[in-house]
Copies of this chain bind each other. A is one copy, B any other.
Amino acid sequence: MQYNAALTAITSPPPNIKTFSQSTSNSRCDHGDDIDDIGTYDDFHTIDWLREMSRNRLRHRQIYQSTKESCFDKTKSWHDASSGWILVLLIGLAAGALAGIIDIVTKWLSDLKLGICSSHFWFNQASCCWNSLSPTATATNCSDWKTWAHIFSLSSTSPQSMYAFNYVAYIIIAIFFSTLAAVLVKMFAPYACGSGIPEVKTILSGFIIRGYLGKWTLLIKCVTAPLAVASNLSLGKEGPLVHISSCCGNVFANLFPKYAKNEAKKREALSAAAAAGVSVAFGVPVGGVLFSLEEVSYYFPMKTMWRSFFAALIAAFILRSLNPYGSAHFVMFYVTYNRPWLLFELIPFALLGILGGLYGAAFIHANLAWCRFRKTSRLGKYPIIEVMFVTLITTAGSYPNPYTKIDASTMIFQLVSECSPYVRNNLCDYSIEVSFDMLSMYLKMCGQITCFLAQGVNVTNIHTAPVGVGLQTALSQLSIAFIFKCIITVFTFGLKIPTGLFIPSLGVGALMGRMVGIGVEQLVNRYPHCPLWESSCHSGHTCITPGLYAMVGAAATLGGVTRMTVSLVVVMFELTGGLQYIVPLMLAAMCSKWAGDAFGREGIYDGHIKLNGYPFLENKEEFTYTTLADDVMRPRRGDAPLTVVTQEMTIGELDNLVKTTKFNGFPVVSSRDDKRLVGYLYRRDLILALDNAWTNNQNVNRDCKVFFTLNAPTLSGMSKHDPTPIRLFNIVDLSPITITDHTPMEIVVEIFSKLGIRQALVTHNGTLLGIITKKDILRHIAELSGEDPDHIMFD
């Protein structure tokens, strides 16, 4: 409407300048918001946070100014105020529900590789064998659960051929799952591949990737994530859950105009969604919020944090109500250790941290190299075949080993659990004697057999024991599993199916940690009189918890791969459920980060962001070079002069400008000679405004002059033969961010990352010299750090 008013002003005397200056006072906000699409962005472009926030405040003001008028307006303003909370509530509900369903489906599909429940085919192995009361839920004494060999009536044949049949069935089913996932991804939603966290991070930093968080991606990722996990590849569904949750955030945000039409507000909802995603991935709401704060979000004001927390909590609560883990706790690997750690144990914990950091650095290098190879070679053209091949290798290698045969989260749970008299597996084969009294007491305490699994029990009274035969076997299996997982994960992360990295990293770390833990335990048992531990370990009692080592190792590798710090410790703290073990976890996280940073400071997600050339300006690291704005701005010395829009250009000239250049915007200066800066004009807005002028006004021709400032000439001052002038000052940003040519780049980077702007204009003594865009800065940083500046692909 306002735009039309400006156009009709062509034939009527212009309004009083003062009045106009008031009505257009929010120059940043209302430049032509009335033309549809003005203020929106193209795909693969960066948003301007300052501008978006201003637009939001304008919208907010408009709603509240009209509140007094009618009941409808009041409802509208109430709806507007509450829509933020409603939105995060919806996100929380959806994330929790989806995570629960995905968990249940994954468990069932996973077990389907091994066999099927004859009585209730929709039961997974644990549910099927529930009545057999086996605490570890192994299939040994469960009659309802049939392996494929049983189903196909091969039980009369030799055990070897049964084993072979099951082996082959396992591989075939796994390949079927992963191929199905790859086909679905390729056909319906190519964006559903990968973990999604690098892209979500880039989107949250202000980049537009249309469809990345769309309905199709959501649907396909929900379907394929369980398939991918069930195919026993070395991947997890926790990273994809963050992507899925973010998709929910985007889909729901589109229901509320406040969020749908404003990219900055939408990102607030996405931050909350990411928090909810991690919250349900591990059942850790506080950790989820801190993960969103530390790793994913770019701007995370307190208000968003509070809402994220709400979303994370609702999501965790819903997940708990669905109870996919079948225990009283809604945490994935909830364990309570009863033994305090000892001071000397800080040495192995620090060692684990360093090993985790080294693993992380090695993994990042290897995986990035492989992904680069995939991108540049012919391999990238056959994603489905690649998935099939990797699945074949993975399943063929993992079936014979009991620790890789089961799904990774069960393996991690076994590794981090404490040994108790009721855990009957090789890891706890210490040949210990248990009195019936203790057993009955435990039973009284717990009421249910499952609580042994979930809570761990007090085993301080169990005698020390040497390694049993079972544990020896287990140790060799653990080391094989460790090496196998280390290698295969490099080739798995980056396949064109949903691939999360949390679980494989935690798994590698838990394997490493458990082995170190058993080593330390045996060391203490064998040399009980070493001064390091003699005072704390009473003879006849073991004082080492190998499960804790597995937990610490898992934290260390995850830290090494992702370079998380605070959120890592909080997640692990919530998983272990006790402040007591936070010191070892913190130590491991610190050592891991230091060791990893020695070989390159970027985590795997940052590495993939760089690999894909996304325009992500790091806001957590400092810029340490000494260059000036002068050195970065365009045009460089020798380049063609800066393309500017001056006052009094004609429509024809502007049309040419738009057609012959590709810049995203043009500085507006007072005249071609005296380049005093007036404002900034977005290309997209200019095109829309020109189109609008052509369409809506028949007097417009190519010779019409266009005025961008308030002091345009009045009609009375013009001869009648001049073409009618057009006023477009409502699309000019009269308050562009400017810096001087002497500004050090460290400050420029600070301004860009803190204010979230897309470009800044460079002046010297008030005269326009050039322009710096986010892309220029990223290219400059790449140049300075010796990388290829052309890998920054997008504006």
- Interface check A415, CB cutoff 8 A: no
Binary CB contact string for chain A from 569 to 591 against chain B (1 if under 8 A, 0 otherwise) = 11001100001001100100010
Contact A294 B302 (CB under 8 A): yes
Known contacts A751-B755, A767-B766; A25/B744 CB under 8 A: yes
B624 touches A565 (CB 8 A): no
Bound Cα distance A316, B286 (Å)? 19
Q: Is A754 an interface residue (CB 8 A)?
A: yes
In the complex, A620 Cα to B739 Cα: how many Å?
26
Q: Which residues of B contact A566 (CB under 8 A)?
A: 289, 302, 305-306, 309
Cβ contacts under 8 Å, A309 to chain B: 565-566, 569, 586
Contact A744 B29, beta carbon cutoff 8 Å: yes
A313/B586 in contact, CB under 8 A: yes
Which B residues are CB-close (under 8 A) to A766? 676-677, 763, 765-767
Q: Residue A177 at the B interface, CB < 8 A?
A: no
Cβ of B29 and Cβ of A313 under 8 Å apart? no
Q: How far is the CA of A574 from the CA of B285 in the complex (A)?
A: 13
Interface segment out of the listed A49-57, A189-197, A485-493 = A49-57
* Cβ of A440 to closest chain B Cβ, rounded Å: 10
CB distance from A297 to the nearest CB of B (A): 11
**CB neighbours of A303 from chain B (8 A):** 620
Inter-chain CA distance A27–B61, complex, in Å, is 41
A742 within 8 A of partner (CB): yes
- Nearest CB of chain B from residue A332's CB, rounded to whole Å: 12
State which residues 542-592 of A face B: CB under 8 Å: 565-566, 569-570, 573-574, 579, 582-583, 586, 590
Which residues of the other chain, B, contact A425 by a CB distance below 8 angstroms? none
Interface residue? A414 (CB, 8 A): no
Across-interface contacts of A736 in B (CB, < 8 A): 740
Residues of B within 8 A of A5 (CB): none
In the complex the two chains form, is B755's CB within 8 Å of A750's CB?
yes
Contact (Cβ within 8 A) A50 B747 = yes
Whose C-beta in chain B lies nearest to the C-beta of A300? B293
User: Cβ of B26 and Cβ of A565 under 8 Å apart?
Assistant: no
- Hey, which chain B residues are within 8 Å of A629, CB to CB? 735
In the complex, chain B residues whose CB is within 8 Å of the CB of A740: 679, 734-736, 738
Pick from A286, A573, A766 the residue with the most CB of B within 10 Å: A766
CA distance A472 to B155 in the complex (A): 71
Contacts of A679 in B (CB 8 A): 740
Q: Which residue from B28, B285, B306 sits with its C-beta under 8 Å from A582?
A: B285
Chain B residues near A25: list those with CB within 8 A. 626, 628, 742, 744
What separation, in Å, do the CA atoms of A670 and B765 have in the docked complex? 8
A659 at the interface (CB under 8 A from B): no
Contact status A54-B746, CB under 8 Å: yes
Q: Hey, what's the 0/1 contact readout for A755-789 against B, CB within 8 Å counting as 1?
A: 10000000101110000000000000000000000
Residue pair B53, A331 in contact (C-beta under 8 Å): no
Task: Give chain A interface residues in 693-739, CB to chain B under 8 Å.
Answer: 734-736, 738-739
Q: Is A583 touching B317 in the complex (CB atoms < 8 A)?
A: yes
Contact A310 B54 (CB under 8 A): no
Q: With both chains docked as a complex, state the minimum distance between the C-beta of A612 and any C-beta of chain B, in angstroms.
A: 23
Q: Which residues of B contact A677 (CB under 8 A)?
A: 765-766
CB of B573 within 8 A of CB of A53, answer no
Given the known interface contacts A570-B286, A670-B765, the answer about A744 and B310 at a Cβ–Cβ threshold of 8 Å is no
Interface residue from B302, B574, B676, B742 paired with A27 (Cβ < 8 Å): B742
A301 CB-CB contact with B under 8 Å: yes
Could you tell me the distance in whole angstroms from the C-beta of A427 to the nearest C-beta in chain B? 26
What residues of chain B lie closer than 8 Å to A743, measured between beta carbons?
28, 735
Closest chain B residue to A739, Cβ basis: B735
Residue from A285, A628, A742, A755 with most neighbouring chain B CB atoms (10 Å): A742
A302:B620 contact, CB within 8 angstroms = yes
Determine whether A93 belongs to the interface, using a CB cutoff of 8 Å to chain B. no
Q: How far is the CA of A767 from the CA of B620 in the complex (A)?
A: 35
Complex alpha-carbon distance, A574 and B28, angstroms: 45
Determine which of B317, B570, B626 lies in contact with A61 in the assembled complex, contact meaning CB atoms within 8 Å. B626
**A767: B residues at CB distance < 8 A:** 676, 766
Query: Are B28's CB and A744's CB within 8 A?
Result: yes
Contact with B along A20-55 (1 / 0, CB 8 A): 000001111100000000000000000000100110
Assembled-state Cα–Cα distance A754/B747 (Å)? 12
A614 CB–B CB distance under 8 Å: no
Chain A residues 55-105 with CB under 8 Å of chain B are 57, 60-61
Check: A502 CB closer than 8 A to any chain B CB. no
Is the C-beta of A622 less than 8 angstroms from some C-beta in chain B? yes
Interface string of A278-307 (1 = CB under 8 A from B): 000001011001000010000001110110
Interface status of A444 (Cβ within 8 A of chain B) = yes
A441 near B: Cβ within 8 Å? yes
A590 and B735 contact, CB distance less than 8 A: no
Cα–Cα, bound, A583→B330 (Å): 14
Binding site for B on A (CB under 8 A): 25-29, 50, 53-54, 57, 60-61, 283, 285-286, 289, 294, 301-303, 305-306, 309-310, 313, 316-317, 329-331, 441, 444-445, 565-566, 569-570, 573-574, 579, 582-583, 586, 590, 620, 622, 624, 626, 628-629, 670, 676-679, 734-736, 738-740, 742-744, 746-747, 750-751, 754-755, 763, 765-767
New contact pairs (18) apart from A301-B620, A670-B765, A763-B766, CB-CB < 8 Å: A27-B744, A28-B744, A29-B744, A50-B747, A53-B750, A57-B746, A285-B582, A302-B565, A309-B565, A309-B586, A310-B590, A441-B441, A677-B765, A678-B765, A679-B740, A735-B743, A738-B738, A754-B755
Closest 7 CB pairs of A and B: A766-B766, A735-B743, A734-B742, A676-B766, A676-B765, A306-B565, A754-B754
